[in-house]
Amino acid sequence: MIHPVDTILSLALLSILFSFGSSRLPGLIKVMAFQGVVVSIVPLFVGHEMSTGSVIFTIVTLTIRGIIIPGCIYLAIKRVAIGREVEPIVGYHASILAGLLLIVGATFASHHIDVPYSSVSALLLPTAIALLGAGMFLLMARRNAIAMVLGYIMMENGIYLVGTSFSMRARHIVEFGILLDVLAGVMIMAVILQNIKQTFDDVDTARLRTLKE
Amino acid sequence: MLEIVFLIPFFTGAAAFFLPDKIGRCLLVLTGAIHLILSVIVWAGRLVPLFPDYFAVTPEGLLSLLVISLLFFLISIYTIAYLKASDIHAEHIFTGSMLLFLSTMTMVTLSDHIMVMWIAIEATTLASAPLIYTHRTAASLEATWKYVLICSVGIAMALLGSVLVTVAMDVGKVDAPISFSAMTEVAKQMDPMWLKAGFVFILVGYGTKMGLAPMHTWLPDAHSEAPSPASALLSGVLLNCAYLGIFKTNKIMHAAGLADFSGPILIVFGLISIMAAATFILKQTEYKRMLAYSSIENMGIIAFGTGIGGLGAYGAMICLIHHSLIKSSLFLTSGNILLGFGSRLIDQTGNLVNRMPKTFVAFFGGFAGISGFPPFGIFIGELLIIMGAFRTGNYVSAGLFILSLCVIFAGFANNIMKISFNTSDAAIRIKEAPSLVWPQYVLLLTSLVLCFWMPDTLYQTIIHAVNTIGGGF
């Protein structure tokens, strides 16, 4: 029988492929919002006893990861009228192929790793690894600064999956602190993005080349 | 209530965002003074944590806390004179961020919980980002962007590493709180493979923030674009905070008997950093970037010493303290030069010895200290590290270490001579007000005094800290 968490995780994997294939920023942000929602509900299905605290925490996580963080970025591009392409260094088709290879590689790698909770879901570790790798791919393969921020968020999503699912020690207050840091980080990045757009009239990072040796 | 040490600057910092500039300046110095007093009280062991699960007083934390506190107080005095002499937009954001920055760095030194440590270190990135963008130029914007993105991504790696360390506990079926002190006690039972993986990720993550090459690319930009008081804080104490994260994880590695694994990695990263600094310092045209590369060098030295262990670990601790004192004084002095000559290029300055004699004394003293002249502490630290390296049989790395130090000294000395003695007809734009020079004198003097006379309590604390990573005589 397919465990519900596997269905959810396969949606997260699908969102990686979608994000690699999307050429326009608003589309990419929507994919990331979807991914944020999917990732935040995973802990509800993985081994925890359902307590009021964990339900409230899930709702808070979902709001921040799925609504506020993408909302911040979306507002940033709205306010300074950035609606352009993500300026790929690696083309979209090649990116999707790379995404597929990444998922296969992550599944392969996770078979060789002995994790205490692999009984919970077979897809958990592959998804986490794939999200991490995909985030790094976006950081490297897109010149647009916003796509890079989204890559960072995807990496964070991957780490969140590793964290909440494998290790059940961190208390909610600590996890909330981590979430708050990520949120503040993204907000600051959004402010910098707006300033970059105003100063350079573009968010193409190829223009950020004055400081180098 | 230990937490008050970082809560006070947090609240004054938040308040400074909404207060007029004048009150903000007073608040800066006042908070610095209160913080210094509180740090001394913490040192005396009079404050107990309210949340012992998350915060604790550790010897290495105490050392960093005292350094932060002293530096911030002196820098805040300098900042007032600096703000008067320079023209800074949105001063309330600058002072507010400085105080929040102090608060987050203090939190790093006091945190014992592995995740709280991460939260605090990431918070230092966020609090210091507005400081780098103070001048509102295109270059400073670029530096801020690189700083926030590279450090956030790097520190995300450290978060993954921290999670892996907790997985190591789960696999080893250990039930203990995930604080550094508790984990060090049960380290032997933790799963070595996961622990090793966690250490590597934490080293790469916090290493990015500490400025270890090849993850150092943000550092010269950020340190040169930030206003000098902020550069002094970034270089003098922020790098130590990141080091603290690596130090504490290394402590777990040592307790788990995995020192053979963590030591060589630290040595390699340290050597790469020192050599990268040597490469870039030779061709440097800007004096603030030169100082930034010197910070990378010193962080490399510290990582190298920590990896060597024994005498080297003690030497690394000595270097850590003296680097903070001397480098922050150098950055403050570079602020004077920038105010005086109005340019960051070495070629546009010159004849400092006659033009700004008081600044020259601080600058040259700082140079002598940082490049390892006796009797300054860096000399003693480096000597101990080299001796430690020979004792443990690391002849090749010790050779590379000495060679790189010589190259760096040559490059550094060449530029310093140009700034100090070249002819220049530029008009000096500021007067050397007393508070623009004496904070640097105090910092250098402290470093000098510590070489000849170290209070026994300080010595014991250092020994206590390095004992846990196999250091000492």
* Contact predicate B210/B201, CB 8 Å: no
* Contact predicate B357/B431, CB 8 Å: no
pLDDT on residue A169: 59
Q: Is residue A164 part of a domain?
A: yes
pLDDT on residue A82: 65
Judged by DSSP in three states, A204 sits in strand
pLDDT on residue A162: 84
Chain B residues close to A189, C-beta within 8 Å:
148-149, 152
Question: Quick check: A192 and B133 CB within 8 A?
Answer: yes
- pLDDT class of B189 with cuts at 50, 70, 90: very high
A45-49, A166-170, B288-292 — most confident range: B288-292
Chain B residues close to A139, C-beta within 8 Å:
153
Write the secondary structure of chain B as one string of H (helix), E (strand) and C (coil): CCCHHHHHHHHHHHHHCCCCHHHHHHHHHHHHHHHHHHHHHHHCCCCCCCCCCCECCCHHHHHHHHHHHHHHHHHHHHHHHHHHHCCCCCHHHHHHHHHHHHHHHHHHHHECEHHHHHHHHHHHHHHHHHHHHHHCCHHHHHHHHHHHHHHHHHHHHHHHHHHHHHHHHHHCCCCCCCEHHHHHHCHHHCCHHHHHHHHHHHHHHHHHHHCCCCCCCHHHHHHHHCCHHHHHHHHHHHHHHHHHHHHHHHHHHHHCCCHHHHHHHHHHHHHHHHHHHHHHHHCCCEHHHHHHHHHHHHHHHHHHHHHHCEHHHHHHHHHHHHHHHHHHHHHHHHHHHHHHHCCCEHHHCCCHHHHCHHHHHHHHHHHHHHCCCCCCHHHHHHHHHHHHHHHCCCHHHHHHHHHHHHHHHHHHHHHHHHHHHCCCCCCCCCCCCHHHHHHHHHHHHHHHHHHHCCCHHHHHHHHHHHHCCCECC
pLDDT on residue B134: 93
- Closest residue, chain A, to B129 (C-alpha): A188
pLDDT on residue B272: 97
- Which of B31, B29, B30 has its CA nearest to residue B6? B31
Counted domains in chain A: 1
N-to-C CA span, chain A: 58
pLDDT on residue A167: 59
Question: Quick check: B167 and A115 CB within 8 A?
Answer: yes
* Contact predicate B319/B301, CB 8 Å: yes
The beta-carbon neighbor of B144 closest among A167, A185, A192 is A192
Higher pLDDT, A169 or B206: B206
Chain A residues close to B280, C-beta within 8 Å:
213
- pLDDT class of B245 with cuts at 50, 70, 90: very high
Q: Is residue A117 part of a domain?
A: no
* DSSP single-letter state for residue A197: H
pLDDT on residue A6: 87
Question: Quick check: A184 and B148 CB within 8 A?
Answer: no
Q: Is residue A128 part of a domain?
A: yes
Chain A residues close to B220, C-beta within 8 Å:
211, 213
pLDDT tens for A182-199 read 999 999 999 998 888 888
* Contact predicate A146/A82, CB 8 Å: yes
Judged by DSSP in three states, A167 sits in coil
Average pLDDT, chain B: 94
Whether pLDDT at A1 is above 60: no
pLDDT on residue B438: 94
Q: Which residues contact B335 (CB under 8 A, 6 or more apart)?
A: B78, B82, B227, B228, B229, B231, B232
pLDDT tens for A14-37 read 999 999 998 888 899 999 999 999
Q: Is residue A149 part of a domain?
A: yes
What mean pLDDT do residues A109-127 have?
78
A109: its two tokens = 């790698």
Q: Is residue A209 part of a domain?
A: no
Chain B residues close to A148, C-beta within 8 Å:
149
Q: Which residues contact B173 (CB under 8 A, 6 or more apart)?
A: B189
Give dist(CA B59, CA B61) in Å, integer: 5
Give dist(CA A86, CA A142) in Å, integer: 6
Q: Which residues contact B291 (CB under 8 A, 6 or more apart)?
A: B223, B231, B235, B327, B330, B331, B334
Instruction: Tell me the residue range of the domain where A148 lies.
Output: 4-111+122-201
Chain A nearest CA to B325, separation (Å): 27
pLDDT on residue A116: 65
pLDDT tens for B368-424 read 999 988 888 999 999 999 999 999 999 999 999 999 999 999 999 999 999 999 988
* Neighbouring C-alpha atoms within 13 Å toward the C-beta of B90: 14
pLDDT tens for B66-83 read 999 999 999 999 999 999
Give dist(CA A179, CA B122) in Å, integer: 11
A1-10, A128-137, A166-175, B171-180 — most confident range: A128-137
- pLDDT class of B153 with cuts at 50, 70, 90: very high
Residue-wise over B303-333: b if at least 16 C-beta within 10 A, else e? bbbbbbbbbbbbbbbbbbbbbbbbbbbbbbb
* Contact predicate B278/B407, CB 8 Å: yes
Question: Quick check: B149 and A189 CB within 8 A?
Answer: yes
Main-chain dihedrals φ then ψ at residue A144, nearest 5 degrees: -70, 130
pLDDT on residue B276: 95
Give dist(CA B159, CA B153) in Å, integer: 10
Cβ-Cβ pairs closer than 8 A, A with B, add up to 103
Whether pLDDT at A166 is above 70: no
Give dist(CA B247, CA B260) in Å, integer: 15
Whether pLDDT at B258 is above 90: yes
- Closest residue, chain A, to B122 (C-alpha): A181
Chain A residues close to B172, C-beta within 8 Å:
none
- pLDDT class of A81 with cuts at 50, 70, 90: low
Question: Quick check: A200 and B138 CB within 8 A?
Answer: yes
What mean pLDDT do residues B29-53 have?
94
The beta-carbon neighbor of A196 closest among B129, B145, B160 is B145
Question: Quick check: A170 and B178 CB within 8 A?
Answer: yes
Question: Quick check: B144 and A169 CB within 8 A?
Answer: no
* Contact predicate A43/A157, CB 8 Å: no
What mean pLDDT do residues B275-279 have?
95
Q: Which residues contact B233 (CB under 8 A, 6 or more apart)?
A: B71, B72, B75, B98, B101, B102, B128, B131, B328
Kindly compute the dihedral angle of the four CA atoms of residues B379, B381, B383, B387, in this order, to the nearest 10 degrees: 180
Most B-contacting residue of A181, A197, A210 (CB-CB within 10 A), to test interface? A181
The beta-carbon neighbor of B166 closest among A149, A159, A167 is A167
- Closest residue, chain A, to B286 (C-alpha): A213
Judged by DSSP in three states, A208 sits in coil
- pLDDT class of B104 with cuts at 50, 70, 90: very high
Q: Is residue A23 part of a domain?
A: yes
B54: its two tokens = 């998350």
Main-chain dihedrals φ then ψ at residue B192, nearest 5 degrees: -65, -35
Q: Is residue A210 part of a domain?
A: no
**Residue found under tokens 């080297």:** B312
* DSSP single-letter state for residue A67: I
Chain A residues close to B146, C-beta within 8 Å:
208, 211
Q: Is residue A75 part of a domain?
A: yes
Chain B residues close to A169, C-beta within 8 Å:
166, 169-170, 177-178
